[in-house]
Structure 1
Amino acid sequence: MSLAESSSSKIPGFNTRAVHAGQAFEPRTGAVVPPVHFSSTYAQEAIGVLRAGYEYGRGTNPTRDSLQEQLAALEGGTAAFSFSSGLAAEDSMIRALTRPGDHIVLGNDAYGGTYRLISRVLGEWGIGNTPVDMSDLDAVAKAIAAGGAADGGSAADGGKTRLVWVETPSNPMMKITDIEALATLAHDAGALLVVDNTFASPYLQNPLALGADIVVHSTTKYIGGHSDVVGGAIIVNDAELAEKIGFVQFAVGAVSGPMDAFLTTRGLKTLGVRMDRHSDNAQAVAEWLLTRPEVEAVLYPGLPSHPGHELAKKQMTKFGGMISVQFKGGEAAARKVAESTSVFTLAESLGGIESLMNYPSEMTHASVKGTELAVPVNLIRLSCGIEDVEDLIADLEQALDGLAGTESGS
């Protein structure tokens, strides 16, 4: 019996849903783990008469369907779509919901790849954008109202804000934004609120329950969780939105393959227990970093000193595994630390079981150098894995000890 067929009226807990949603055993053999369906096409009983609704792999695939059911169950949505990457998900969603002349308001510390997609790729298609500090609700409201006028257009020539886009926590500045307040602003203006929930994951935060219309994920990160699969997802709870996004996904074809979907499903089953460990490790590392004289600032919402701490306590269950650190020694210090660790691996990406370190200015956010979205050059980003926290701290300690003599601002 599947989770959906359970006779209980009580919604199962998060970890129960993670393990069982979309994961009914295979009926012929009783295999507890559903098989991976690699077939690209499906035999029809007669012309136009499909078996269980399957026709061609770009449109539907049983393994991808299982993952999508799992994602919807965990985010509290009614429909989910699994894509070949997070940016493919974003691109298809934007193309489904906007037209040339429309406008997007997004955070002025958005992920570099998202900003590149919106400004350079879709900008040439006629989609305008205004980056704004999402914690300043008055500034957000003005940017929404300005719409296309902010990019030389006006409401009269079709310019209108269609999407308000926020990351919370943001990448890499770790800003926390009030999802409920943004939803009200967006909806009052006839716009949709998109929340990138990658850093928090559905275990720590559920934007749809807070009023968001669309949740986007890079499933490469915490949802996959093992640094072995690239993917993206969109989750909604509105049938009209689901129809529009589903059509573009089918028409464009940026779907996740069967093996990618299987690996993502396997990772998602342990998301809850992993996020507990990621969050606990990050909290301990952040508190330790505060004791170090080399550190200028620790950006982590679990610290009472973080400006978004109280809001994070309200809309998140824990504070996540991501920390950003700024150094008094400037760029030279940040670069030296980034290249001096062994447990933390210097690499792109985040959210895997292993700890990763990133120098955003030259790595994940190199595409926004020289813009108002540029990342401070004295900042590194830590993705705390599930290793023993004592080893993480010891690794950082030897790296920071090596900063002796680094000149400020050099």
Structure 2
Amino acid sequence: MTDAPGPRGAHLPGFATLAIHAGQDPDPLTGAVAVPIYQTSTFAQDEVGSTRAGYDYSRAGNPTRTALEQAIAAVEGGRYGYAFASGMAAADTYVRAVLRPGDHLIIPDDAYGGSFRLIDKICVPWGLTYTTVPLGDLDAVRAAMRPSTRVLWCETPTNPLLSVADIAALATIAHDGGAQLLVDNTFASPYLQQPLALGADAVLHSTTKYVGGHSDVIGGALVTDDAGLAEQLAFHSKSMGAVAGPFDAWLTLRGLKTLAVRMDRHCDNAEQVVELLTGHPRVGRVYYPGLPDHPGHDIAARQMRRFGGMVSFTVRDGQEEALKVCRRTRVFTLGESLGGVESLIEHPGLMTHASVAGSALQVPADLIRLSVGIEDADDLVADLRDALD
């Protein structure tokens, strides 16, 4: 990994410095400050079996993708990073690299719908078994562990109920049982939370979300500090081929540079939105880890820098009223996804989490999820107030 610049001695570069500089030295040929887009499928070789700088074919490696992989690893505090065509491609690659038919995994009982679909509809026919558990209940997690458990799959905060899990405690449970802890860090982003430092074996991201940050690129990433796991991820990434293309990697890398400043604005705005919602007579329950009465508040305060830009809430008059609120906003755009500069509103039960309908992971019918963007906070608060009135 290319070292980030910094003064000589013991000083270590901070998050924003790593995001801007790690893996991104000026181009040695031209001096270009921005990493070039190496839009090529193949690389010339001077001799049979030799390569220039280790590149021969872009599925195996591409300099633009390498820069992103080094940068995402650096900001997560890991040594090895891998960039994929989507978050689900990253998740599937991890599954194929780590699990085998007959293995068991534990997932949150309010997991992201896409992750649940991957496990329930694709991995189960392949021969895996799984158990859904509220990961905030450590006794329930211990009880769910089996001799065949190989992965404890964690989201924190979860999508869309924003449940919080104790990463360090889950790492201990997983490792005591001979399993790995995978943490989906998409909602928090590397700026707000670094699971590897808390004992996780691997970190998963949909870089489409906060890392990319502009709703203009699809991508995913895996980061680990374990050399053996990294070798398996590298092999499966190359062999399965669901890698990030050069232009997508470049867009994601550009987004990563401003992650720190964007996340602070997301958090600022979310806090003002939460203040409106908690005092509004038509709102039932507000899900946000920053609230003192949130069940995971103390854990979130301990393992997160701030509480994030995602907010969910219920309305008192049921699903139809929730759908009306989603239709009434003007600044919040009705749409799936999250983590972009623009604010989004959605109905998880009929949109992002439709795949869990009828399962143990079904979400409340009156639930609304907000991805709070970086617009002027006053405009966001006024928009929601109008939509609720």
TM-score range for the pair, normalised by the shorter chain length? over 0.9
TM-superposed deviation, 1:164: 0.1
The secondary structure found in structure 1 opposite 2:221 is strand
Q: Which aligned pairs between 1:375-394 and structure 2 lie closer than 5 A?
A: 375-394=363-382
**Residue type of the alignment partner of 1:241:** L
CA distance in 1, matches of 2:119, 2:164: 22
Report Cα offsets for 1:98-136 as digits up to 9, x if no partner: 100001101000000000001110111001111111111
Of stretches 301-310 and 290-299 in structure 1, the one that deviates more from structure 2 is 301-310
| Corresponding residue of 2:16 | 15
Report Cα offsets for 1:186-236 as digits up to 9, x if no partner: 000000000000000000000000000010000000000000000000000
On the 8 A contact 2:217/2:251 being kept in 1, the answer is yes
**What TM-score does the superposition give when structure 2 sets the normalisation length?**
0.98
Q: Which aligned pairs between 1:266-277 and structure 2 lie closer than 5 A?
A: 266-277=254-265
| Corresponding residue of 2:164 | 176
Give the 3 Å change call, closer, same or farther, for CA 141–176 of structure 1 in structure 2.
Answer: same
Q: Which aligned pairs between 1:313-392 and structure 2 lie closer than 5 A?
A: 313-392=301-380
1:63 aligns with 2:64: yes
Gapped regions of structure 2 (runs ≥ 5) = none
CA distance in 2, matches of 1:88, 1:231: 8
**Residue type of the alignment partner of 2:56:** E
| Corresponding residue of 2:215 | 227
TM-superposed deviation, 1:349: 0.1
CA distance in 2, matches of 1:8, 1:116: 49
TM-superposed deviation, 1:288: 1.2
CA distance in 1, matches of 2:30, 2:67: 18
The secondary structure found in structure 2 opposite 1:164 is strand
On the 8 A contact 2:5/2:13 being kept in 1, the answer is no
TM-superposed deviation, 1:308: 1.0
**Residue type of the alignment partner of 2:268:** D
State the number of aligned residues. 388
Report Cα offsets for 1:230-254 as digits up to 9, x if no partner: 0000000000000001101100000
Report Cα offsets for 1:122-155 as digits up to 9, x if no partner: 111001111111111111111113xxxxxxxxxx
On the 8 A contact 2:5/2:21 being kept in 1, the answer is no
| Corresponding residue of 1:28 | 29
Q: Which aligned pairs between 1:282-321 and structure 2 lie closer than 5 A?
A: 282-321=270-309
TM-superposed deviation, 1:3: 1.9
TM-superposed deviation, 1:306: 1.0
The secondary structure found in structure 2 opposite 1:235 is strand
**Residue type of the alignment partner of 1:133:** P
**Residue type of the alignment partner of 2:17:** T
Q: Which aligned pairs between 1:234-273 and structure 2 lie closer than 5 A?
A: 234-273=222-261
1:131 aligns with 2:132: yes
Candidates 175, 180, 183, aligned match of 1:195: 183
CA distance in 2, matches of 1:26, 1:193: 37
| Corresponding residue of 2:91 | 90
CA distance in 1, matches of 2:360, 2:94: 25
**What TM-score does the superposition give when structure 1 sets the normalisation length?**
0.93
**Residue type of the alignment partner of 2:378:** E
Of stretches 1-10 and 197-206 in structure 1, the one that deviates more from structure 2 is 1-10
The secondary structure found in structure 2 opposite 1:266 is helix
The secondary structure found in structure 1 opposite 2:145 is helix
Q: How high is the sequence identity, in percent, across the aligned residues? A: 56
On the 8 A contact 1:85/1:220 being kept in 2, the answer is yes
CA distance in 2, matches of 1:383, 1:71: 22
Give the 3 Å change call, closer, same or farther, for CA 4–42 of structure 1 in structure 2.
Answer: farther
CA distance in 1, matches of 2:247, 2:9: 32
TM-superposed deviation, 1:4: 6.2
| Corresponding residue of 1:160 | 148
1:144 aligns with 2:145: yes
On the 8 A contact 1:105/1:131 being kept in 2, the answer is yes
Candidates 185, 199, 204, aligned match of 2:192: 204
TM-superposed deviation, 1:7: 4.0
On the 8 A contact 1:2/1:23 being kept in 2, the answer is no
**Residue type of the alignment partner of 1:48:** G
CA distance in 2, matches of 1:299, 1:345: 20
| Corresponding residue of 1:50 | 51
| Corresponding residue of 1:407 | none
CA distance in 2, matches of 1:135, 1:309: 11
The secondary structure found in structure 2 opposite 1:361 is helix
TM-superposed deviation, 1:10: 2.0
Gapped regions of structure 1 (runs ≥ 5) = 146-158, 402-410
The secondary structure found in structure 2 opposite 1:106 is strand
CA distance in 2, matches of 1:135, 1:73: 28
TM-superposed deviation, 1:8: 4.2
Q: Alpha carbon RMSD of aligned pairs, Å?
A: 1.1
